[in-house]
Amino acid sequence: MTRFFATLQQLEHFIRALRWQNHSTFICPHCSSCDQWFSHGFQYKPLSIDSQTIAGKRLICSNRHGHSGCGHTFRLYLSTRIPHLHYGCAQFFSFILALFFNNTDLPCTVEQAYQLATGANNPRHAWRWLAKLRSQLPLFRSLFFDRPAVVANNTFTASTDGTEHTDNPHSLLKVSVAQLSQQLHCDTNTHNLCTVFQHQTQNRFV
């Protein structure tokens, strides 16, 4: 099911098409209807106390004015936004680059990488971000690698060929992220891996 769109124009075009076409593949998960979708307004992410940005739009499986849907809503996102995360793909990818691919002699700690990515004074969510990324590792590996999914934990690491060892807590994540970018043909010098992943796979990055 399509959930992520590269631009707002593509998202709105998709919603308009739902009104005039029978999208049998876009089925309501609650009532299985596919022809009762209507736009239900924008969804926003706050940037500061007095500003916000568009994160996507809502659909409603309408049960109003004679329609036979169930009334549940469904969210569609811009691929630059990560569902249920305050910050977007730009900040999360900066976190990954700072933590795993920092070219300086002194590698960043998890807290430092979070603060560099977000500009936050308090890094209290840094380890939560790392946990979110680690929890997605089985999905990354099962989607793209010709091998069984591996449950990540702090005891795993990986060599450059992807084999696991037990001496470094982040090596498996680093190698998996690097392999993921290769599988997606994502040049991380010019493209955001989180955005590309969401747009190509229609799965949230974390």
Is residue 130 domain-resident?
yes
Can you give the residue range of the structural domain that contains 197? 89-201
Phi, psi of 164 (to 5 degrees): -90, 145
- Give yes or no for residue 199 having a pLDDT over 70: yes
Whether 27 and 62 map to the same domain: the answer is: yes
Is residue 84 domain-resident?
no
Cα–Cα dist 8/33, whole Å: 25
Spatial contact of 22 and 34, defined as CB atoms under 8 Å apart: yes
Q: Indicate yes or no: pTM above 0.85.
A: no
Cα–Cα dist 188/180, whole Å: 11
- Give yes or no for residue 160 having a pLDDT over 60: no
The band of 24, judged by pLDDT with boundaries at 50, 70 and 90, is low
Is residue 176 domain-resident?
yes
Q: What residues form DSSP beta bridges with 4?
A: 77
Instruction: Name the residue among 9, 81, 74 with its Cα closest to residue 38.
Output: 74
Spatial contact of 160 and 175, defined as CB atoms under 8 Å apart: yes
For residue range 181-195, what is the model confidence (pLDDT) as tens digits? Answer: 999 999 998 999 999
